[in-house]
Amino acid sequence: MNREEILNMPAGRKMDALIDGALFDCNGGEFSTLSVYILPDYSTCIEDAWQIIKAMKVKHFRFVLGGYFMGLNQTWAAFDNEQWADSNPLYKAFADDTPLAICRAALLATLEEK
């Protein structure tokens, strides 16, 4: 997946599955009593998106969130690798909703850090 595809991907189960695979190795969600995996709604639910921020912190990424950047009526989220903050770019993404902005920024960071 490239940068442009990530920045244009809509919220939904495909985005949620990509995040789960990139950050949680498909083990980051909850399990029901029947041991069936329940994929969190990372791209649409702020409570689930917060798990992304926690996972990125473990990977030594700092997080910044903002809105209405340069006249855009969107939320933006950004991650920056705290170990190399002086030389690494800020991985920033925009979206109409905060959870989607967080997902996009996290995918950019994990894609470009590999």
The predicted-structure confidence for 39-64, as pLDDT tens digits, reads as follows: 999 999 999 999 999 999 998 898 99
Q: What is the CATH number of the domain that holds 74?
A: 3.30.2120.10
Instruction: Tell me: pLDDT of 14 over 50.
Output: yes
3-class DSSP state of 64:
strand
Euclidean distance between CA atoms 2 and 59, whole angstroms = 21
Number of residues written out for the chain: 114
Check residue 87 and give its pLDDT.
Answer: 60
Q: Provide the percentage of residues in the chain whose pLDDT is more than 70.
A: 81
Number of domains in the chain: 1
Its domain, for residue 90, covers 3-113
Q: Which two tokens stand for residue 25?
A: 């190795």
